[in-house]
Amino acid sequence: MADMADVWIRKLDSFDDARRADREFWQSVSPDARVAAVEDLRQQWASLQGADDEGLRRTVRVLERAKR
């Protein structure tokens, strides 16, 4: 994740400010970098769990809607 290699620190006064800062940060990151961040976290989780690196599971469900 070359785009997010820098470390930055912000002092915030509340959890609401922290949520806004997080949102601003992730909106400033490119979509490809966001996907790379998710993949990096997924790989870290798999490593910590001792799981095989199987990738993301895909689940599809067909839901039937009630007639109106």
Spatial distance between the Cα atoms of 55 and 61, rounded to a whole number of angstroms: 19
In a domain, 58, yes or no: no
Provide the b/e sequence for 24-37 (b: ≥16 CB within 10 Å). Answer: eeeeeeeeeeeebe
In a domain, 55, yes or no: no
In a domain, 62, yes or no: no
User: How many domains does the structure of the chain reveal?
Assistant: 1
In a domain, 23, yes or no: yes
Average pLDDT, the chain: 84
In a domain, 59, yes or no: no
In a domain, 57, yes or no: no
Q: Provide the whole-model pTM.
A: 0.57
Spatial distance between the Cα atoms of 57 and 15, rounded to a whole number of angstroms: 33
**Residue 4: pLDDT band by 50, 70, 90 thresholds?**
low
User: What SS3 state is found at 51?
Assistant: coil
**What would the pLDDT profile of 40-54 be if each residue is shown by its tens digit?**
988 888 888 887 766
Structure tokens at 52: 């095989």
Range of the domain at 20: 2-49
